[in-house]
């Protein structure tokens, strides 16, 4: 008679995670009409391809999120299933996935232009055969769209978003964004803070005092926003905003006429573009930084770029503009699925199946509003 039962759940790697399966399709002749009939393939394989869709999708994840080189993918396949796969097959698999997801990328790109949600935008250089190109990212908490481009110019921004934008655009203070026709803009205070931090160490009249005052004001801004984000107490937040605006206005008036060239440039930017640096004060649903484009957490633009930057460092860039565009598409799927809490591997597998069968619906990256 059992006196006590102890349960212990353990995750194990099974002996052969990858198995090789032979499928046999019979062709038979109908005894009534004489027609030949061939059995259908199982849904998770594509005729003529040696790797099942789930394994292809897993390799797509390993390549574009885990940044695993093809040689290590070969070793992994041998360790997990004792199967030998040529480099050409791995390259073709990645290209096949890219082709399968392309309609979903086009759909998302068109949706961004048409719906125009609040977004964070950033860009980072990318080497293509030794030439500097640019990878742009447009993101919010529910999607992430990477675009391969030749330049960092206004024309590229307008190609991605259109000549006008009806949403709020969060960015750094790069000149391309200045004057762009958006509903509103929020400049990134996290990018501004280091400039005032450097000012503290810069020789010159009042530089240290000005730097210390405005670093403190920026830190207060982040603390005030973080408090609102945690509590959503609008009454307390509005009281804080009124006090903060008074401090900000007073500090600008105190120092702007006493500042040297470098400090004066920063202070005039805060004054002349006040509606862009401090938009979040009256609209706290918009954060005061542009980290949505960067961060790996499901928040801002500049940290979303970290996955791309890691990919660039591992791969050394791209060998052609086409491959650069393919990388941008694959990164779009990876980051968008992660933000939406979806499986990247499942998305790749569904796209592969839909690409081989016109009767299957393609997976979509559009946020579910």
pLDDT, tens only, 163-200: 999 999 999 999 999 989 999 999 999 999 999 999 99
**What is the average pLDDT value for the chain, to the nearest integer?**
92
**pLDDT bucket at 297, cuts 50 / 70 / 90:** very low
CA distance 66 to 71: 14
pLDDT tens digit sequence for 205-225? 899 999 999 999 999 999 999
Burial level of 342, CB count in 10 A (0-12/13-18/19+)?
middle
| pLDDT digits 0-9 by tens, 52-108 | 999 999 999 999 999 999 999 999 999 999 999 999 999 999 999 999 999 999 999
259, 268 Cβ separation under 8 angstroms: no
Structure tokens at 265: 């440039």
B/e letters for 68-104, b = 16+ CB within 10 Å, e = fewer, are bebeebbebbeebeeeebeeebbeebbebbbebbbeb
Pairing type for strands 119-128 and 164-171 reads parallel
Residues of the chain with pLDDT > 70, as a percent, come to: 96
Contacts of residue 334, defined as CB under 8 A and 6 or more positions apart, other chains included, come to 61, 64, 65, 307, 344
Q: Is residue 283 a contact partner of residue 323, using CB atoms and an 8 Å limit?
A: no
Please state, in angstroms and as integers, the Cα–Cα distance from residue 21 to each residue in 42, 50, 65, following that order.
Answer: 12, 10, 27
Which tokens in the block code for residue 110?
């068109």
Lowest mean pLDDT among 150-164, 293-307, 312-326: 293-307
pLDDT in tens, 131-141: 999 999 999 99
Q: How confident is the model at residue 292 (pLDDT cuts 50, 70, 90)?
A: low
By mean pLDDT, which of 2-16, 97-111, 240-254 is the weakest?
Answer: 2-16
List the one residue out of 292, 357, 364 whose CA is nearest residue 111: 364
CA dihedral 313, 319, 320, 326 (to 10 degrees): -50
Q: How confident is the model at residue 299 (pLDDT cuts 50, 70, 90)?
A: very low
Look at the alpha carbons of 147, 153, 120, 118 in this order and tell me if their dihedral is positive or negative: negative
């Amino acid at each position: 008679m059992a006196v006590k039962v102890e349960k212990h759940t353990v995750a194990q790697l099974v002996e052969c995670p990858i198995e090789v399966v032979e499928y046999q399709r019979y062709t038979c002749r109908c005894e009534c009409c004489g027609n030949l009939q061939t059995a259908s393939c199982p849904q998770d394989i594509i005729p003529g391809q040696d790797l099942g869709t789930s394994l292809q999708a897993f390799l797509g994840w390993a390549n574009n999120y885990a940044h695993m080189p093809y040689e290590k993918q070969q070793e992994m396949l041998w360790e997990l299933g004792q199967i030998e796969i040529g480099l050409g097959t791995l390259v073709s698999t990645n290209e096949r996935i890219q082709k399968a997801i392309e309609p979903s990328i086009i759909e998302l790109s068109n949706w961004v232009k048409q719906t125009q949600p609040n977004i964070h935008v950033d860009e980072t250089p990318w080497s293509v055969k030794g030439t500097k190109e640019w990878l742009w990212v447009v993101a919010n908490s529910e999607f992430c769209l990477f675009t391969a481009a030749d330049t960092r110019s206004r024309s590229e921004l307008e190609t991605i978003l259109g000549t006008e934008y009806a949403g709020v655009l969060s960015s750094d203070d790069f000149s391309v964004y200045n004057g762009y026709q958006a509903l509103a803009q929020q400049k990134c205070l996290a990018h501004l803070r280091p400039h005032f931090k450097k000012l503290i160490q810069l020789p010159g009249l009042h530089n240290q005092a000005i730097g210390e005052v405005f670093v403190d004001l920026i830190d207060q801004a982040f603390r005030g926003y973080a408090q609102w984000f945690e509590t959503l107490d609008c009454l307390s937040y509005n009281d804080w905003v009124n006090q903060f605006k008074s401090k900000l206005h007073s500090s600008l008036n105190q120092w702007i006429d006493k500042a040297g060239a470098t400090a004066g440039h920063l202070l005039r930017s805060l004054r002349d573009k006040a509606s862009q640096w401090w938009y979040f004060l009256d609209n706290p649903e918009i954060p005061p930084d542009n980290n949505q484009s960067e961060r790996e957490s499901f928040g801002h633009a500049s940290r979303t770029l970290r996955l791309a930057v890691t990919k660039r460092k591992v791969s050394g860039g791209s060998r052609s503009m086409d491959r650069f565009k393919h990388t941008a598409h694959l990164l779009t799927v990876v980051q968008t699925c992660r933000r939406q809490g979806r499986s990247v591997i499942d998305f790749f597998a569904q796209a592969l199946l839909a690409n081989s069968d016109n009767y299957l619906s393609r997976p979509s990256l559009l946020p579910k509003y």
